[in-house]
Amino acid sequence: MKLLEIEHLKKSFGSLEVLQDISLSVEEGEVVSILGPSGSGKSTLLRCATLLETMDGGKLAYCGDCICENNAYGQSVYVSKKERQRIQSRFGLVFQNFNLFPHYSVLKNLTDAPIHVQKRNKEEVYAEAMELLKKMGLQDKADYYPCQLSGGQQQRVAIARALAMNPQMLFFDEPTSALDPELTVEILRVLRQLAEEKMTMVIVTHEIDFARHVSDRVIFMDGGRIVEQGRPEEIIDHPSNDRTRAFLQKIQR
C-alpha cells in the first residue's frame, strides 16, 4: 500500500523556485534515503510533506487520503483544518536539532501529545512511553530534562517522541548532522533497528554507507528536482548522472 503520495509538488520562496515538479511515493515498510547537496530542497520537501510549509502546486496524500490537490489553475488546495489534524497523526518528523521541549521531562516530552492531542488513555500512553525509552536505552532517563542529556540521547528522545504518536511513517531531516561521529553511530543503530522492524521511513542524510546498507531506495536531489532514484547499489555505486557522481565523489573523498 502507498503510504505517501506526492505528485508534481511545486514550491517557491518569492521568486526562488525551491522545488520544481517533485513526484514521490513511498510504500508501506519502505526505507527511502534522500541525498543531495545543501540547498537542493531536501528540507523543504520534508517540510511540505509534514505540513510545515504549504505547497504552491501539486498533490499530497497519506494512505489515499488527500491533504491537498491541484485546482483547475494548478494550485494546491488544502482540505479542512479538521481533516488535516486527523491525517497529521499518521506521520512524524525528527529534526536535525531535536527540538525537544526543554521545560518538559523526557517522559513528558513523549507523553504530552498522545495524552492531550490524541486524547489517549493515560496509563496506556505512559506504559508505551516507558517501553519506547527502554528500546532507546534511556529507561533510566525518564525524569531527566533534555539539557541534562548528550546530543545523541536527546535525538533518541526525539525519535521516541515521534514514535509515541504511533505514526505510520517517519521523516528524518539529517538526524545525525548536529552530532559528533561517535554519537552519530548510536542514532544510526536506532534507525537500522527501526528499518528491521519495517518502519516506513524517509531519511535525508549525508551518511552514504548507512544509506547504502539500510535503505530500499535512494533518491538523489539537486536544484529542486529528483535527478535520479533507484536501488542503493545502482545510485551509490554506479550513478548514471554526472551530478550524482560529482556529489558522491565530493562527499566520499
Partner 1 sequence: MDILSIVTQLGSGMLSTLSIFFLTLLFSLPLGLLVCFGRMSNWRPFRKLSKDSSSGKLVSGLANFRPVQWLIKIYISIMRGTPLMLQLFVVFYAPYYVFGISINSSFRFYAVLIGFSLNYAAYFAEIYRSGIQSIPVGQYEASSVLGYSRAQTFCKIIFPQMVKRVVPAVTNEVITLVKDTSLAFAIAYQEMFTTAKQIAAAETSIMPLFVAGVFYYIFNFVVAFVMERVEKKLDYYQ
Ligand X SMILES: Nc1ncnc2c1ncn2[C@@H]1O[C@H](COP(=O)(O)OP(=O)(O)O)[C@@H](O)[C@H]1O
Residues in contact with 162: Cβ distance below 8 Å, sequence separation at least 6, in sequence order: 92, 93, 94, 170
Judged by beta carbon distances under 5 to 8 A according to partner kind, the member of partner 1, ligand X, Mg ion, none in contact with residue 88 is partner 1
Judged by beta carbon distances under 5 to 8 A according to partner kind, the member of partner 1, Mg ion, ligand X, none in contact with residue 118 is partner 1
72 binds partner 1 (CB under 8 A): no
Residue with the CB atom nearest Mg ion in the bound state: 43
Judged by beta carbon distances under 5 to 8 A according to partner kind, the member of ligand X, partner 1, Mg ion, none in contact with residue 227 is none
Look up residue 252 and give its DSSP letter. Answer: H
Q: CB of 201 within 8 A of CB of 172?
A: yes
Distance between CA atoms of residues 17 and 229, nearest Å: 21
Among 161, 202, 211, 247, binds partner 1 (CB under 8 A): 161
75 binds partner 1 (CB under 8 A): no
CA distance readout (Å), 239 to 22, 219, 234, 249: 20, 11, 6, 11
Judged by beta carbon distances under 5 to 8 A according to partner kind, the member of partner 1, ligand X, Mg ion, none in contact with residue 95 is partner 1
With respect to ligand X, which residue has the nearer C-beta, 17 or 112? 17
99 binds partner 1 (CB under 8 A): yes
> First-to-last CA distance in the chain?
38
Distance between CA atoms of residues 108 and 8, nearest Å: 39
165 binds partner 1 (CB under 8 A): yes
Q: CB of 216 within 8 A of CB of 195?
A: no
Shortest Cβ 114–partner 1 spacing (Å): 9
Position 95, amino acid: F
Cell of 85: 489534524
Among 51, 132, 157, 163, binds partner 1 (CB under 8 A): 51
Position 34, amino acid: I
With respect to ligand X, which residue has the nearer C-beta, 114 or 220? 220
Look up residue 141 and give its DSSP letter. Answer: G
Span of 30-38, 64-72, 139-147, 179-187 interacting with partner 1 by CB under 8 A? 139-147
Position 97, amino acid: N
The residues that touch partner 1, with contacts defined as CB under 8 A, are 50-52, 85, 88-89, 92-93, 95, 97, 99-103, 112-113, 116-118, 145-147, 161-162, 165
